[in-house]
């Protein structure tokens, strides 16, 4: 199963875009990239996922490089409520297990 590497923490000013990077250099061709976040020890919350193309929903945008070895989650206008740990996950080989890495603690500051 592909592993992911994320910076342990990042700061972002309120109202600015937050760009969270993730490296997944061993990703396989049929594996998806998922992003989740966990706010203050609540259950993780799904944000977005993608395979090859860039994706956008009401919460965020996901940019996947052409070689698929890395991706970036973009929160276009970060608010204080976006302060959380963000996890980048590559779906396991059997498509039915999630293995969490250490994630990025995003601190949104006023």
Partner 1 sequence: SAVISQKPSRDICQRGTSLTIQCQVDSQVTMMFWYRQQPGQSLTLIATANQGSEATYESGFVIDKFPISRPNLTFSTLTVSNMSPEDSSIYLCSVALGQNYGYTFGSGTRLTVV
Question: Site map for partner 1, 54-93, x if CB under 8 A?
Answer: -------------------------------x-x---x--
Q: Taking the complex as a whole, how short is the minimal distance between the CB of residue 5 and partner 1, in angstroms?
A: 13
Q: Taking the complex as a whole, how short is the minimal distance between the CB of residue 27 and partner 1, in angstroms?
A: 15
Three-class secondary structure of residue 85 per DSSP:
strand
CA pair distance 103, 6, nearest whole angstrom: 6
Helix (H) or strand (E) holding 44: none
Q: In sequence order, which ranges of the chain are alpha helices (DSSP H)?
A: none
Question: Site map for partner 1, 41-60, x if CB under 8 A?
Answer: xxxxxx--x-----------
Question: Site map for partner 1, 7-46, x if CB under 8 A?
Answer: -------------------------x-x-x----xxxxxx
CB contact at 8 A, 88 and 24: yes
Handedness of CA 18, 81, 35, 101 (dihedral sign): positive
Which chain residues interact with partner 1 by CB under 8 A?
A: 32, 34, 36, 41-46, 49, 85, 87, 91, 95-103
């Amino acid at each position: 199963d592909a592993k992911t590497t994320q910076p342990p923490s990042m700061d972002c000013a309120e109202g600015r875009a937050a760009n969270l990077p993730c490296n997944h250099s061993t990703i396989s061709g049929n594996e998806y990239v998922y992003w989740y976040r966990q706010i203050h020890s609540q259950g993780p919350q799904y944000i977005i996922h993608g395979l090859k193309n860039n994706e956008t929903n009401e919460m965020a945008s996901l940019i996947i490089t052409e070689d698929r070895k890395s991706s970036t989650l973009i929160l276009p206008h970060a608010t204080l409520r976006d302060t959380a740990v963000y996890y980048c996950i590559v779906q396991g080989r059997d498509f039915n297990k999630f293995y969490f890495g250490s994630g990025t603690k995003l601190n949104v500051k006023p």
